Amino acid sequence: AQTVTQSQPEMSVQEAETVTLSCTYDTSESDYYLFWYKQPPSRQMILVIRQEAYKQQNATENRFSVNFQKAAKSFSLKISDSQLGDAAMYFCAYRSSFYGGSQGNLIFGKGTKLSVKP
Amino acid sequence: EAGVTQFPSHSVIEKGQTVTLRCDPISGHDNLYWYRRVMGKEIKFLLHFVKESKQDESGMPNNRFLAERTGGTYSTLKVQPAELEDSGVYFCASSQVPEGTQYFGPGTRLLVL
């Protein structure tokens, strides 16, 4: 079974600086998707960034980028120029690419709580 | 376009009582998922609907949990009778296709006393 591990329960970053959140996963599949979701306090979870395993190029979305290391099964999230609004719980998630059965569901890590200091 | 909505936002009940959670997916999204996060643990998958059919219910913890999606629109998740360990945040998500992005609702915080 696939697992996702986020080893940093909490992180802190100074406003305008860069922070990297770690995520590792375990799978025997060769094709899959990886996601970072963000849940601000008392608000709903939103997708930050998505990476297809078959793509070697790292995904980027504005100030958010990932470092996807398939061989190492690592998928870290880098937030550049951190803003106060980035303070949230960040969840790393895995999903198989095969349709049918249980493959539609997301497998989550425990999350990393990010604080941004002004 | 309205997002995924969930009702109620909070529920406090006593052990042995029944609670029903509701999820309204984004209009047109055939795929609806339920997840649960127990305090301090991972968000865990409960089940997946495709329209009104249960595609996968392998994450349902036991037969005290009953999910329905009559008509393929909104879904309900009933817990009967509730136990202390059922406390947590119940999330609903929807997507147009199974491989599509899942959009999450705000969650229902359930506390069983």
Q: Are B61 and A7 spatial neighbours (Cβ–Cβ below 8 Å)?
A: no
Mean pLDDT on A17-40: 94
Express each pLDDT in A39-67 by its tens digit: 998 788 999 999 999 888 999 999 999 99
Cα separation, A55 vs B108, whole angstroms: 36
Positive/negative CA dihedral, B40, A39, B90, B95: negative
Q: Is any Cβ of chain B less than 8 angstroms from the Cβ of A114?
A: no
Q: Is any Cβ of chain A less than 8 angstroms from the Cβ of B88?
A: no
Domain count for chain A, please give it. 1
Express each pLDDT in A85-114 by its tens digit: 999 999 999 998 765 455 678 999 999 999
Cα separation, B48 vs B58, whole angstroms: 9
Of the options 3.20.20.10, 3.40.1190.20, 2.40.37.10, 2.60.40.10, the CATH number for the domain spanning B5-112? 2.60.40.10
CATH number of the domain that A9 lies in? 2.60.40.10
Choose, out of B5, B43, B45, B55, the residue to mutate when testing the contact with A (most A CBs < 10 Å): B43
Is B59 in Cβ contact with A99 (below 8 Å)?
A: no
Instruction: Establish, for the pair of chains A and B, how many residue pairs have beta carbons separated by less than 8 Å.
Output: 62
